[in-house]
Chains A and B, each alone.
Chain A
C-alpha cells in the first residue's frame, strides 16, 4: 500500500551514466534478454564464420563420405546422403534465419499496417479486420500451411515460398496486438492534444503513436520470427519443405525417414535438433525480455 514516495530530486541528483552502461546495467537485471541475445549472437557468429570458412557445397547430397560419426574431419558427422552436417548446419542456419526474418518482417509489417488502420479509423474497417482475425484465429495455422505446401508443385517449394506460405496465415497475431495498443494509445492525452492542435491523421500516426509503440513492434517482430521459424520447421519435418535444401527441419525429416535413431546414426537428427533448440530458445528468451521492457507491469517478477 503506502510505499515510499521517491522525490524526483533524489533521482535527478544521481549522475547519469553513459548509454552503454545503462544498457548493460539493464541487461544484468533482465537476465533472460541478456542470455537470449548472447545465444543469438553466438549463432550469428557461427553462421557467418561458417559461411566464410566452410565449403557450403558439402551441405548438399553426395559431397562427402556417407554416415560418418562426428570426428575431427567432420565435427558434426555426415549423413546417409553424403552431406557434411557442419556445412549443412551453416547453410541451414542461414536459411532458417532468412525465412524467419523475411516471414517475421512481412508478418509484422502487415500486422502493423492492419492494426493501425483498424484501430485508428475504427468503424466498419475495424469491424471487418477484427472479425477476419477472430475467425481465422482458431484455425490451426500449421495445418492450413500443410494444405498450401502440399498443393504446391515440389519444384515450386523454395526457401522464399516457404517464407510466403508462413506469412499467409501469420499476420493475425501482430494485427490484434498492435490494434489493442493503438486503441489504448488513442485514449492518451497527448494524442488528443495533437489532434486538437490540428495535426493530421498521418502526422499523429507517425509522429505521436508509432514511436511509443516501437518496443511493442519489436516484441511482435521477435514473436513473429519465432512463429515463422517454428512453422517452417514443422512443415519441413513433415516433408513439405524444399527437399534438396539442408533446412534444419528437412534434415530431421530425412533422418526420420531413414530410421536414423534405429540404425544408430544418432548425430544425424540430434545435431539439427540442438541447433533448433538454440534458435528457438534464444528467440523465446529475447521475446520474454522485450515483453518485460515494453510492458512494465510484468517487470515485477523478482
Chain B
C-alpha cells in the first residue's frame, strides 16, 4: 500500500546518482474529498510517492483525474467544499499537514513553491512586477534589507532570462511567455526544496512552451529542487522529466521512469495513454481511449478503470487493486500484476 516505504526497500534498483540522496519530498496516503450537493467525491485516494532533490516527476492524467488537486493539496490550498482528509506531505522532516496556518503560510514559497496554471492572469494587473516580487520576499524575510531584497528579485528575473527592466513593468506590458517566466522567477525567489509547476505551458504557443520548459529545467538545476510537472502533454514532458506518474480517478495508477513508461508501460491505462500518442509508426491512425472518464461521485466498483479496460478480469469489478512495486522499483496499481511484486 504505502509506496514510499516499500520503495525504500528496493532502492538498489534506482540509478545511483539519485539513490544516494534521501527523499526531499515524501507524500503519504494523501486523501482529498469534495463534499458537493450531489454527494461526496474522492478527488485524491491514498496517493503516496516520494521525490529526491534534483529529481523531476511528470504527473499525467485526464482532466479530473486529480493532478491539480494533488498540487493544491500539497500546498494546502484546497478550498471548501473540498477537504484534505488525511495523509502527510513531508518536505525534509517537516510535515506540511501538521503545520498551523501561520507555519504553512511561511512554508509556501520558501519550502514548497507553486508555479500556477494560468500564468496569463496570475499577476496582479495593478501592481508592478517588482512590487509583487518584493512583497513575496518580504512576507517570508521581513528583516532582509531593501537593497538585498531587490537584488534577490533581479537575480531571479535574470535566471529566467528576463531583462531587469521587467522589474518596473506591469503584467499587461508582458507577453504570455514573459508572464510565465515571471511566475517561475517568483517561484524560485526563496530557493524552495520542492517546485510544483501546474501545467505551466498550457496557454502558450509551441515555441514558447519549449523555452519555458527549458527555463524551468535550468532554474531547477541551479537550485537543485525537486520538481513536479503537471500536464497533459506527454511528448513535451518526456523530454524534461526523470519519472512519470499516471493518475486515474484520484489514484496514482503507475509510476515509472520515463524510459520504462514510454517503452514498456505496465498499467492498461498507461498503455492506452502511450498508444494514443501520435508517433511515426501509427501515422494517420489516431487511437483514443474508449469510454468516458468516470464521475468521481459514482466510481465503478473495484478498479475504477475496469469498464474501459481491454484486459479487465472478473475480479477487477469487485476487488480494488492496491499499489504493487515491481522489480525495478516501478509501482503499478492493477490486478494484472498481483503476485509479481
Chain A residues packing against B (C-beta within 8 Å)? 1-7, 9-10
Contact = CB atoms under 8 A, between A and B. Distances in A.
B63 A4 contact: no
B60 to A, nearest CB: 13
B296 interface: yes
Nearest to B66: A2
Interface stretch (B35-43, B47-55, B83-91): B35-43
B308 to A, nearest CB: 13
10 A-B pairs closest in CB distance: A7-B295, A2-B68, A5-B64, A4-B41, A1-B68, A4-B296, A10-B295, A2-B69, A4-B34, A10-B298
Interface residues of B, number: 21
Contacts, number: 40
B66 A7 contact: no
Nearest to B43: A4
Contacts of A6: 38, 295, 297
B313 to A, nearest CB: 24
A4 to B, nearest CB: 4
Interface in B276-334: 292-298
A12 to B, nearest CB: 12
Interface string B79-106: 0000000000000000000000000000
A4 B294 CA distance: 10
Contacts of B198: 1
B234 interface: no
A5 B65 CA distance: 9
A10 B37 CA distance: 13
B55 to A, nearest CB: 24
B68 A5 contact: no
A6 B43 CA distance: 12
A1 B38 contact: no
A4 B68 contact: no
Contacts of B203: none
Contacts of A7: 292, 294-295, 297-298
Contacts of B66: 2
29 contacts: A1-B68, A1-B72, A1-B117, A1-B198, A2-B43, A2-B63, A2-B64, A2-B67, A2-B68, A3-B34, A3-B64, A4-B36, A4-B41, A4-B43, A4-B64, A4-B296, A4-B297, A5-B63, A5-B64, A5-B293, A5-B295, A6-B38, A6-B297, A7-B295, A7-B297, A7-B298, A10-B38, A10-B297, A10-B298
A4 B72 CA distance: 14
B224 to A, nearest CB: 28
Contacts of A10: 38, 295, 297-298
Max count, chain B CB within 10 A of own CB: residue among A1, A4, A6, A10: A4
A108 to B, nearest CB: 35
Contacts of B68: 1-2
Nearest to A3: B34
Contacts of A2: 43, 63-64, 66-69
A3 B36 CA distance: 10
Contacts of B38: 6, 10
A227 B67 CA distance: 50
A5 B72 contact: no
Nearest to B67: A2
Nearest to B39: A10
A2 B43 CA distance: 9
B67 A5 contact: no
A101 B227 CA distance: 64
Contacts of A1: 68-69, 72, 117, 198
A6 B63 CA distance: 12
Nearest to B77: A1
A7 B308 CA distance: 15
A10 B198 CA distance: 29
Contacts of B43: 2, 4
A2 B38 CA distance: 17
Contacts of B298: 7, 10
A175 to B, nearest CB: 31
B341 to A, nearest CB: 31
Contacts of A4: 34, 36, 41, 43, 64, 295-297
Given A2-B66, A10-B38, 15 more contacts: A1-B198, A2-B43, A2-B68, A4-B36, A4-B41, A4-B43, A4-B64, A4-B297, A5-B64, A5-B293, A5-B296, A6-B38, A6-B297, A7-B292, A7-B294
Nearest to A9: B295
B147 to A, nearest CB: 37
A118 to B, nearest CB: 31
A88 B169 CA distance: 65
B42 to A, nearest CB: 9
Nearest to B65: A2
A192 B92 CA distance: 58
A66 B69 CA distance: 73
Interface in B115-139: 117
A212 B295 CA distance: 30
B193 to A, nearest CB: 23
Contacts of A9: 295
A189 B292 CA distance: 26
Max count, chain B CB within 10 A of own CB: residue among A2, A7, A10: A2
B246 to A, nearest CB: 16
A28 B47 CA distance: 39
Nearest to B118: A1
A138 B34 CA distance: 48
A6 B34 CA distance: 12
A213 B293 CA distance: 35
Contacts of B67: 2
Nearest to A1: B68
Nearest to B297: A10
A10 B292 CA distance: 13
B74 to A, nearest CB: 13
